[in-house]
Amino acid sequence: MSSGDLLRAEVKSGSPRGNELNKIMEQGQLVPLEVVLDLVKEAMLEAVKKGTKGFLIDGYPREVKQGEQFESESWVKSHKRLKYKGDAFFSLN
């Protein structure tokens, strides 16, 4: 899963959030952490519904702070098999 692909797909969808992302990205600004986290969360939860048992996320987290915030989310904690190690998350199946 690529955070960049998720951002581009959201822009392409034409949703209100996608339109806001397009404005941010066209101005060369960074997309807020919370928005990227929401997109990753939505994609992961959808994939779990479809039977996915693990993830490799490209482009996220970019900083330790992002990884720590991701790991602190209650929906991540509820999937106890998901672990963060340094600069990568691992699914322990």
> What's 25's domain CATH number?
3.40.50.300
Give the whole-angstrom CA distance, residue 91 versus residue 93. Answer: 6
In the numeric block, the tokens 């959201």 are attached to 10
Query: What is the tally of structural domains in the chain?
Result: 1
pLDDT, tens only, 23-73: 999 999 999 988 998 998 899 889 888 988 777 788 777 788 877 877 777
Token output for 68: 């720590």
| pTM (two decimals) | 0.73
Residue 11: predicted pLDDT = 98
Structural domain boundaries, residue 12: 3-91
The neighbouring-strand residues paired with 52 are none
Partners of 90 in the β-ladder: 83
